[in-house]
Amino acid sequence: MEAVESASLAKTRRALRLLQELGSDQRGPVFDVEILSTYNLEPLLPVLQLAMSCLPSQACLRLAPLDNIEAHIAHPAGSGSQTVSNARIIIWRIEEVLPEALYPFSHGFPEGLSARVDQLLERIERVIALHKRSTPGIPLFLSTMALPVYFANPLSAAQHSAGPFASVSRVNQKIYEVATRSDGVHILDLASWAAMEGRGHADATVDFLARQPLSANGQVGFALFIARCLRPLVVPTRKVLAVDLDNTLWGGVVGEDGVNGLKLGHEFPGNVHLRIQRELLELRHRGVLLVLLSKNNEADAQQAFDLLRDMILKWDDFVARKINWNHKHENLREAARELGLGLDSFAFLDDSDYEREQMRQAIPEVLILNETSDPLQTLRALWETDAFDSFFVSSEDRLRHEDYALRGARNAEAHRDDLKAFLKSLEMEATIEEIGPSNMERVVTMLGKTNQFNLTTRRHSRAQVQAMMELPGSIPLALRLRDKFGDQGIIALLLAIPSEGNGTLVVDSFLVSCRALGRGIEDALWAAMLRRVDRQNVRRLDAEYIPTAKNSIVANLYDRLGLQRVEHNLSSTRYVSAPVPVVEFPSWIAVKDDTNKP
């Protein structure tokens, strides 16, 4: 923290040395990033390295030759060219790619400037197409372009639809558009970052001397921003936010002040609590599960939801409600068990210093978002947290609340003695499909997040999944599920790859979302894979269980599926099946196989 706050290069390097002394398991996953830029980023490498290390990750940052974007993408040179990157970043700015915008009247304004903008828009399209051809599967982060900090006559620059400022906006709009329609292309919004940082992020002297435009403090902010943009590729997002009621969702204590005495509305301080609710509702619609934890009488709490005129959040926006006089950490553990989620999936928001500290000590895996009882600080914590950051919101994310809310309905019927009859009553319909561009985002997200039903817990990147898919004879499968309660999207994956020339197929990854445990989904996906194996005349199937602190639930899965143990130690259990059988789909699941690969 001292290194970051001081912006001192010496302290940054010392912090990096201390981080490198930690064990590999404490430093996070290895993460390779290739950076292409039109200005000099080499002086920023130490602070970039520190920011990435704080995610945490063991980041390898590789700078391409300066201002050589297209040529490097097409023909990467040097000893590092064989390294498969986890991400590629392109950082450019108007000063290099559209210098005419700084001097429009010297370049035939407005027609001349408009023509140069058209050329730059075409270049953006070409760069993305070149990246997709040369390095398919590697996520591309494309920076937007900030308005120049040092610019003569800004008044004139803002007066014309083809003027310098409008031209920069037009370029950025193009970048937003191509990222929206291009799978695997993400925005590094440096224009927004620079606007929020203000003029202090830039240093004209350093720019002229070293072709590096950032001040010391600007370098720190820049590095932290880059790390945050890459974070969803490195660190799983939190899935659940557990929130308090009194002095959090509203001002006051419902049990003491009564509903009429609570503060919620459009005047201070009720407007702060109203904004907190708006932020929480947005998280809920983005797929973050909301859980209520409150020391209250449940009837009083529900009355406030029913009678408060300005309540934005509704009772049913919470997938679990623990409103009683138990310790909140006990209630959170109970909610985690009901939802089938790990404790490290939770974040916590509470106005009480006592409750936050007790949660911190009792369940250190839970992320505490706010630091004080001040509702404004609570609101800022929601604005500033990166715990729920994601590149996009999938249809599966938007269905998550409904799916977990229906777990109670499913569980209510599960008391039947005949489990198969119960499962049959769910009217499950599974669709088996190939992993490909249409579902790659979901696949990579599941590989990065799924912990419990995950045989190997390998956190493959998009590029790694793409490479496995391209191996002749590979079997990359995903399973979508519907039941009588609703559509749950893709909830299971299996990746199998051929071994070298011996007729053997190796199961690399096999995982099922915790939302779908206990319903035989794994059996349906396994049966679909075996049918593919049979069509490809595979003689032997190899598989492995790698134990973690969270996946003991699948420790004996391959034994149940009929594979033979051939090796066992503390780090893994290896299995083989030779010959490979064909098994039936579970009788309680209607399976449709959309895969066409022979």
Clarify whether residues 94 and 198 are in a common domain: yes
Paired tokens of 363: 């369940």
Q: What is the pLDDT of residue 411?
A: 52
Amino acid present at 185: V
Amino acid present at 91: I
- Global pTM? 0.78
Rounded to whole angstroms, the Cα distance separating 259 from 306 reads: 10
Q: Using CA atoms in the order 23, 28, 31, 35, what is the torsion angle rounded to 10 degrees? A: -100
Picking from 1-5, 446-450, 475-479, which range would have the lowest pLDDT averaged per residue? Answer: 1-5
Q: Answer yes or no: is pLDDT of 541 > 60.
A: yes
In a domain, 400, yes or no: no
Q: What is the pLDDT of residue 410?
A: 54
Clarify whether residues 379 and 340 are in a common domain: yes
The residues, ordered by sequence, that sit 6+ positions from 36 with a Cβ below 8 Å of its Cβ are 64, 68, 69, 72, 73, 88, 89, 90, 91
**Structural domain boundaries enclosing 355:** 240-384
Clarify whether residues 204 and 60 are in a common domain: yes
Q: What is the pLDDT of residue 401?
A: 78
For the chain, percent of residues with pLDDT exceeding 70: 94
Strand partners, 30: 58
Q: How far is CA 369 from CA 20, 207, 275, 573, in A?
A: 28, 38, 16, 39
By CB atoms closer than 10 A (0-12, 13-18, 19+), residue 162 is middle
Mean pLDDT of 339-367: 93
| 68-112: pLDDT as tens digits | 999 999 987 544 445 678 999 999 999 999 999 999 999 999 999
Domain end position, chosen among 207, 234, 261? 234
Assign 246 to helix, strand or coil: strand
Per-residue confidence band for 415, with pLDDT thresholds at 50, 70 and 90: very low
DSSP letters along 517-550, please?
A: TTSSHHHHHHHHHHHHHHHTT--EEEEEE---SS
Mean per-residue pLDDT of the chain: 90
Q: Answer yes or no: is pLDDT of 515 > 80.
A: no
Q: What is the pLDDT of residue 419?
A: 67
Clarify whether residues 157 and 68 are in a common domain: yes
Q: Answer yes or no: is pLDDT of 416 > 50.
A: no
| 17-49: pLDDT as tens digits | 888 888 887 888 999 999 999 999 999 999 999
Clarify whether residues 351 and 426 are in a common domain: no
Write the DSSP symbol of residue 436.
S
Clarify whether residues 110 and 225 are in a common domain: yes
Rounded to whole angstroms, the Cα distance separating 457 from 455 reads: 6
Assign 290 to helix, strand or coil: strand
Clarify whether residues 369 and 427 are in a common domain: no
Per-residue confidence band for 5, with pLDDT thresholds at 50, 70 and 90: low
In a domain, 408, yes or no: no
Q: What is the pLDDT of residue 500?
A: 73
Residue 531: CATH number of its domain: 3.40.630.30
Q: What is the pLDDT of residue 596?
A: 56
Q: Answer yes or no: is pLDDT of 412 > 50.
A: no
Q: What is the pLDDT of residue 595?
A: 75
Assign 137 to helix, strand or coil: coil
Helices 9-20 and 45-53: crossing angle in degrees, nearest 10, is 40
For the chain, percent of residues with pLDDT exceeding 90: 72
Strand partners, 141: 89, 186
In a domain, 294, yes or no: yes
Q: In this structure, are residues 351 and 247 in contact, taking their beta carbons and an 8 Å threshold?
A: yes
Total domains, the chain: 3
Domain end position, chosen among 218, 234, 250? 234
Q: Answer yes or no: is pLDDT of 387 > 70.
A: yes
| 417-453: pLDDT as tens digits | 456 777 888 889 999 999 998 999 899 989 988 888 9
Assign 388 to helix, strand or coil: coil
Mean pLDDT of 462-485: 92
